[in-house]
Homo-oligomer: A and B are copies of this chain.
């Protein structure tokens, strides 16, 4: 049996010969892992020393499949790796579940899997088990990917409940890049050309495990979170809601690229609500916040890190934004779907 078709057909989801060809000729060579090669109903992970595990899952339905700075394969690794890293865990193992639409070119699938495998290798996370389904044309959109991940917890106790008044809020770099880049890549609004005269907009899609580790080593970290769907504002609301503290941000301290600000203005978006796929939010103790900032800035991908606000009790449960004139406005959670199919 050989993978000589140009497009995915329903037969590749049958569980029979064509599924085997897809696994043996496309997936296994790209992912190259002896645990995956065992091809049982699941992977048996090597024995370990015990302790707490982190376990996470994410599905990826981004449209388009390829965008400046990334693609759905890279995103599918980064998304789950980052969820594990935000749990204080070392990302170790991923599962990979594909829902393919009938008619998908195999060339597209190969590119996506190559990108996914390259990202996994760079992180040092192993793809050890998987599943492939095929749905009829018009019942999917090329490729949907789910990854689940398992990792050993190195930094226990990271939770919004650990946040205290006086703590500082940090972000590992400029916000809004991913959402804006994907939106422009869709080119639905015809603003691409005008923006490309200026700075090229790239997604921030990247693994955050090294930044998470660097921050935790600096000490005093209360909680980590990657600001994906809903953006910075929604993530911070998840920290504050139901608590006796509030979060006060300084507008001028929040890093936003000029090109992102310009694109958001054209598109009618707010960069504080735009999805990020490689930006970490961190709450840290007042006496370690500068050390955490220095650690982030010294780590690749954290050069643009900043302290953007602090925790106080002025507006309990709320996130507020103080502008250059000292006026505060409330940032609530994202209300609707600002940007569907962004990740």
Q: Residues of A with Cβ closer than 8 Å to B?
A: 9-11, 13-20, 38-61, 82-84, 86-87, 89, 93, 95-99, 128-131, 133-136, 138-141, 144, 146, 148-150, 153, 156, 158-159, 225-226, 228-230, 234, 238, 273, 275, 332-338, 340-341
Query: A265 CB to closest chain B CB, in angstroms?
Result: 21
Query: A21 CB to closest chain B CB, in angstroms?
Result: 10
**A241's closest neighbor in chain B, by CB?**
B20
**A54's closest neighbor in chain B, by CB?**
B42
Can you add 10 more A-B contacts, CB < 8 Å, to A58-B97, A58-B131, A97-B146?
Answer: A15-B334, A16-B333, A18-B337, A42-B84, A42-B86, A44-B156, A55-B129, A56-B95, A99-B144, A139-B139
**A62's closest neighbor in chain B, by CB?**
B133
Q: Is the CB of B336 within 8 A of A13?
A: no
Residues of B with C-beta under 8 A to A87: 40-42, 44
Query: A168 CB to closest chain B CB, in angstroms?
Result: 20
Q: Is the CB of A336 within 8 A of B99?
A: no
Of B40, B58, B131, B336, the residue contacting A16 (CB under 8 A) is B336
Residues of B with C-beta under 8 A to A340: 10, 13-14, 134, 136
Q: Is the CB of B10 within 8 A of A61?
A: no
Query: A129 CB to closest chain B CB, in angstroms?
Result: 5
- How many copies of this kind of chain does the complex include? 2
Residues of B with C-beta under 8 A to A140: 139-140
**A144's closest neighbor in chain B, by CB?**
B99
Q: Is the CB of A141 within 8 A of B148?
A: no
Query: A91 CB to closest chain B CB, in angstroms?
Result: 10
Complex formed: what's the CA distance from A49 to B93 in Å? 19
**A156's closest neighbor in chain B, by CB?**
B44
Query: A38 CB to closest chain B CB, in angstroms?
Result: 7
Q: Is the CB of A133 within 8 A of B61?
A: yes
Query: A193 CB to closest chain B CB, in angstroms?
Result: 26
**A39's closest neighbor in chain B, by CB?**
B238
Residues of B with C-beta under 8 A to A59: 97-99, 131, 133, 146
Complex formed: what's the CA distance from A273 to B52 in Å? 41
Complex formed: what's the CA distance from A193 to B100 in Å? 33
Residues of B with C-beta under 8 A to A226: 41
Residues of B with C-beta under 8 A to A47: 50-52
Complex formed: what's the CA distance from A283 to B84 in Å? 38
Q: Is the CB of A230 within 8 A of B55?
A: no
Of B15, B18, B338, the residue contacting A14 (CB under 8 A) is B338
Residues of B with C-beta under 8 A to A82: 41
Q: Is the CB of B42 within 8 A of A234?
A: no
Of B42, B128, B135, B230, the residue contacting A15 (CB under 8 A) is B230
On whether A333 and B20 interact (CB within 8 A), knowing A95-B148, A131-B57, A148-B95, the answer reads yes
Q: Is the CB of B52 within 8 A of A50?
A: no
Complex formed: what's the CA distance from A144 to B340 in Å? 17
Q: Is the CB of B337 within 8 A of A57?
A: no
Residues of B with C-beta under 8 A to A131: 57-59, 146
